[in-house]
């Protein structure tokens, strides 16, 4: 059985995938609609939030409230992920 989400955080730093398991579903709520935009670990919450705010400012993601919901494991045997599911972020501008 495989899960619907990657088994690791979907953030890459310096070209290397984060090894932490995903802990949160990241979403943007606009009016009555909510859009899932990714998953992240605790370590990358602020980085992801900063990147989403930049993308919202550029009009690439709808403006709205950014939310982090704890990830609940649900398994299935019909969905598979691969390396294309990861995204690369330049994290040097978003660190504390």
What value, to the nearest 5°, has the Cα angle with vertex 40 and ends 3 and 12?
100
Over residues 3-16, the mean pLDDT reads 77
Residue 69's pLDDT is 93
Q: What is the pTM of this model?
A: 0.67
Residue 77's pLDDT is 61
The beta-carbon contacts of 78-81 under 8 Å, at least 24 apart in sequence, are 79/2, 79/3, 79/4, 80/2, 81/2, 81/5, 81/6
The full set of domain ranges for the chain reads 2-74
Residue 2's pLDDT is 43
Residue 52's pLDDT is 93
Structure confidence by residue, pLDDT tens digits, 31-80: 999 998 888 999 999 999 999 999 999 999 899 999 999 986 665 566 56
């Amino acid at each position: 059985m495989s899960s619907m989400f990657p088994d690791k955080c979907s953030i890459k730093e310096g070209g290397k995938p984060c090894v932490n398991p995903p802990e949160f579903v990241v979403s943007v709520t606009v009016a009555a609609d909510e859009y899932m935009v990714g998953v992240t670990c605790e370590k990358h919450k602020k980085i992801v939030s900063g990147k989403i705010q930049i993308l919202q400012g550029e009009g690439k993601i709808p403006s709205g409230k950014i939310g982090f919901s704890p990830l609940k494991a649900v398994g299935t045997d019909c969905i598979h992920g691969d390396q294309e599911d990861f995204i690369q972020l330049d994290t040097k501008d978003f660190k504390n």
